[in-house]
Amino acid sequence: MDLTDLSLYGALVSLAIGLIIGLERGWQTRRLEDNQRIAGMRTYGLIGLFGGVCGLLLPSLGATLPLLGLVAILAGVGLSVWLSQRSQGEFGLTSSVAMVLTYLLGLTAVLLGPSEAIACAVLAALLMGLKGEIHKGLLFLSETEFHATLRFLLISLVLLPVLPNREMGPLLAFNPFKIWLMVVMIAGISFCGHFAVRLVGTRKGLVLTSILAGFASSTALTLQFSRLNREQSGLERLLANGILLASATMWLRVWALILVIHVPLAQRLTGPLLTLAAVVYGCAFWFWYRREEAPEPMQAKTRNPLDLLTALKFGLLLAVIGFLATLLQQTVGDSGVYLLAAASGLADVDAITLSLSHLASRGLDLDVAARAILLAGFINSLVKGVLALVIGGKGLGWRVLLPYLLSALLTLPLLGG
C-alpha cells in the first residue's frame, strides 16, 4: 500500500469515526425534533472527514490549516450551543464535546494512526452510550463509598506505579512496590467484597469475594472476614465457608505457579495439592449446606468499604516478617530450606513457592522442594487459623482450624518416597 492509498484509507477512517460517534449521538437524540438537535449522524460524519482532510493537507499548507479547522469547529459548536440555549433555555455539553473530539480523531487517523483513532472513537461512543448506567451507578454510591472509591484509585493507580520495584534497605529485604502491592490487595479485597455484598446479597457476595481472593491473598481475606465476624455475630458458618474457599483456591494457585516454572515439581505435588484443595473445598461446602443462619442474613455492616488502616498494618507486618525471613536465609544458608520455608509461610506462600521452584529447576532435590513448599503452605494455613481464632472468635476459629488440620493429616502419607 503506497502513500496515496494510506492517505485515502486514513480519510475513510476519519469518515467512519464521525459516523460511529454520530450513530451514538443520533440514537440518544432520536426522539427529539430536528430543530432540537445540535448535530446528526451526517454532521458528525462530515466533521470527522473534515478533520481527515485537514490532516491530508497538512504537508502542503502547514499546521495553520488544522488549527483554523479546530477554531471553525469550536465556533460552530459555540453558535449551536447559543442557539439551543436561546430557543430551549437549556443545553448539554456532551454533544458539543463529541463534535470537537470527532474532528481531532479524524485528524489523528491521518497523522498518527487509523487503528488508534478508531479505537478511541469506539470507546468514546461506548462511554457516551453508558449515560444511564453511569447515572445509576452514581445514585447507587453513598458519600462514604464515593470517597472510598477515590482513595482506592489513589493508592492503586497513583501511588503504586511510582514506588521503586527493587530490594533496598538493611539486607536488601524491603521492596516498596511489593509491600504496597499487598496493601492495595488487602484494601481491594475489602473494597470489592463490600460492593459484591451490596450487589448480590451477603451470601453470594461473600462467596464470590472468597473465590477471587484465593487467587490473590487468602490471608488478607481471612483478616477481613475475621474482623467482620467480630463486628457482626451470626455469620460464623458463612464466613468460615468463605475463608475455606479462599484457602482451597490458594492450593490450586500454588500448583499453577509451580507448573509454569518447573513441570516435574508440579507433577510431584499434583496429588498432595489437589488433595488439600479437595478436602478444604469439601469442608467449605459442608458449612454452606449446614449453615444455621437465616435464609438471607443482614447485610454486613461495613462502615467503610475501604479499610485502609487495617491494610497498612498488615503491610507493615508483612515487611517485618520479610526482613526476618531474609535474615534467616543469610544466616542459616541453603541447609535451612525447611526453616526458611516455615518462616516464609508466616507471611506468604507465593514467594517461597517461586524461589524453590526455580531452585528445583537448577538441581534442588524435588522431594526437598515439595516438602518445603507444603510446609510453607501448612504454616500459612495455621497462621490464618490463628487469625480467625484470635480476631474472629472461637466460633469462627475452630471452624477454620479443624479443616486445615484434617487436610494436613490426609496429605502427609502422600509425601513418602
Q: Express each pLDDT in 344-401 by its tens digit.
A: 787 778 777 777 787 777 777 788 888 888 888 888 888 888 888 888 888 888 888 8
Shared-domain flag, residues 83 and 68: yes
Report the b/e string of 12-45 with b at 16+ CB within 10 A: ebbbbbbbbbbebbbebbeeeeeeebbbebebbb
Of the residues 111, 136, 161, the one at which a domain ends: 136
What average pLDDT does the chain have?
78
- pLDDT score of 224: 78
Cell of 200: 448480590
Of 113, 136, 159, the residue at which a domain comes to its end is 136
Say yes or no: 289 and 325 in one domain: yes
Query: 192 and 60: one domain?
Result: no
Confidence of residue 211 (pLDDT cuts 50, 70, 90): confident
| Shared domain check, 354 and 285 | yes
In whole angstroms, give the CA distance from residue 363 to residue 328: 22
pLDDT at 416 over 60: no
Q: How far is CA 94 from CA 21, 25, 74, 89, 131, in A?
A: 11, 9, 14, 16, 10
Q: Name every residue whose Cβ is closer than 8 Å to that of residue 11 and which is 6 or more positions away in sequence.
A: 49, 52, 53, 56, 109, 110
For the chain, percent of residues with pLDDT exceeding 90 = 1
Q: What is the structure's pLDDT at 314?
A: 67
Residues 264 and 317 in one domain: yes
Q: Using the 3D structure, point to which of 84, 107, 136 is the last residue of a domain.
A: 136
Checking if the pLDDT of 61 tops 50, the result is yes
Are 207 and 215 within 8 A, CB to CB?
A: no
**CB-facing half-sphere around the CA of 328: CA atoms within 13 A:** 16
Residue 31 has pLDDT above 70, yes or no: no
C-alpha cell, 260 = 509454569
Structurally, the chain folds into a number of domains equal to 2
Task: Taking residues 80-106, report their average pLDDT.
Answer: 75
Range of the domain at 233: 141-415
